[in-house]
Chain A
Amino acid sequence: MKKRNVFIIILIIASIISVMLGAQDFSLKKALVIGSADNQLLIYSRIPRLLAVLVTGAGLSISGKIMQTMTGNRFVSPTTAGTMEWCKFGILLSILFFGGQSMMMKMMFAFIIALLGSLLFVQLLQRIPLKSPVMVPLIGLMLGNVVSSLTAYVAFQYDLVQNISSWLQGNFSLVVKGRYELLYLGIPFVILAYLYAKKFTIAGMGESFAKNLGLNYKFITIVGFVIVAFLASIITVSVGSIAFLGLIIPNIISIYFGDDLKHTLFDTALLGGIFLLFCDILSRIIVYPYEVSVSVIVSVLGGAIFLFLLFQKNKEGGTV
């Protein structure tokens, strides 16, 4: 519980820094006066950005944690299972058939395609006898790359390359009021994830283990992937894809808090939010007043932290 309080304090401090930071001069005191320029900036740009970062970080981490728990594999995440690639393909289809106007339409397409893609991935895993757990993300990455190439090909054919490339890299600099509210749709799914947390953990122990406890294994797996596909699709549509966040955070949580989802879901969301917020702040300071892509920071920083944790754990003698 102590660690959780530390998380919350860090989150609050980082949030304040995030709101203060930007090319435009800004003072918190002035921002509290309704109608002032600083107040407008706060409401239309800084707060939306902060919330978008937090929801994205939390959403991707939760998705990753659910996937890792259910498949019993540490290397599965929305990026390594190709979920994000399926989302992009869905977005492309929606632009092709209905034009790029409606965010809702893009989200629906991304969701349906991502769900089908995830189920295909699970089917593949069940059909192919796997010798090593590393094979799972390899298959996911390969499948993701095939889908990604298909997306690129179709986009090229229909002159949509520029349009689609904006979803390739996550970007928070375009988030303003009116462009991120879709993310709130994720909240009921996060609650659903919380209600099903115990069941996901049991499903992760294997089909016969789940059956022994009287659970409907297939149904639970589908619920899990619906949640993951939905969170991934709203995030891809509103901010784009951010690699490896859903891989790193769940692993860090697993090392320190274990894998009982019911106990760790909140910490996963919290740490995911903090981590992405930290990366976002860093991406804005490094070449101030310009920005570096937040994905780059996530990959570099996350990779380093992850390696450090692996070595640390090895010293203590536990397995990761």
Chain B
Amino acid sequence: MIKTRGLSKVYGNKKVVDDISITLPKNKLIAFVGSNGAGKSTLLSLIGRTLDRSSGDCYIDEKEVKDWNSRELAKRLSILSQTNHLNIRLTVHELVQFGRFPYSQGRLTKEDEKKVSEAISYMGMDALKDRYLDELSGGQRQMAYIAMLLAQDTEYVFLDEPLNNLDMKHSVQIMKILTKMVKELGKTVMVVIHDINFVSCYADYIIAMKDGEIVANGPSDEVMKPQMLEKVFGMEIKVEQFGGNNICLYYT
């Protein structure tokens, strides 16, 4: 279980994440929503220990993040940041192998190799296995990174805007795989997503942020309401039922 108490991040005198205490439910697809600069990515990075916090506590499975051995924690929690690492020439297979690093420190066992090829198959990337990342499309590359997280096989998976710059097909593909990871593999997946309708259609639980604070959190159906959304995004958003999903209309 993931729990934070008074978690804050301050840059200069601007509080980007302000005193957040929250307990995240297990085995759910959790979406972080909010406007640009609301502190979603920062909160995700703080919990995912890729960013140092200014104050507060953060517990992963009842143990403070700082007390975790970093290699052990890498087997429990994985995080994919937004940044694209385009400068390095690696094949999909080589990238996915990195996911096994916390287990084997680079000397892959048969078990590791099995997990790697399973992860690649799970993402449906067998045909692209030996292609270099810089020769793939943005969507395929993102799938390769997710395959690496799959190989890392952690209970908690954090993704910072995995749908950024992707076409509709890849976006849907990725959301479906994340749902499968929760349902089939029993993982807890946390994502920052900007497209509110993807959140509405796929997320089980929503955490909505504004100015570094959490303004709403709860099961999808409870948060996907016009008055809630207006509070979060500061604009009028209509919510319509369509094919069993809440769809937000905010374009005009």
Contact = CB atoms under 8 A, between A and B. Distances in A.
A280 interface: no
Given A208-B79, A214-B73, A258-B132, A72 B102 contact: no
Best-surrounded residue of B70, B79, B87 (most CB of chain A within 10 A): B87
A208 B83 contact: yes
Interface in B64-106: 69-75, 78-81, 83, 85-91, 94, 98-99, 101-102, 105-106
B169 to A, nearest CB: 22
A318 interface: yes
A260 B94 contact: yes
A209 B89 contact: no
A132 to B, nearest CB: 12
A199 B106 contact: yes
B221 interface: no
A124 interface: no
B94 to A, nearest CB: 5
Contacts of A318: 132, 134-135
A205 B88 contact: yes
Interface residues of B, number: 35
A215 interface: yes
Nearest to A211: B50
A212 B71 contact: no
A215 B106 CA distance: 12
Interface string B107-150: 00000000000000000000000001011000000000000000
Given A258-B94, A258-B132, A319-B134, A212 B89 contact: no
Contacts of B90: 201, 258-260
Interface in A161-216: 197-199, 201-202, 204-209, 211-216
Interface residues of A, number: 32
Given A206-B85, A260-B90, A212 B79 contact: yes
Contacts of B134: 318-319
A215 B70 contact: yes
A209 B87 contact: no
B81 A206 contact: yes
* In the A-B complex, the 7 residue pairs with the closest CB atoms: A214-B74, A198-B106, A208-B50, A214-B71, A72-B87, A259-B89, A214-B70
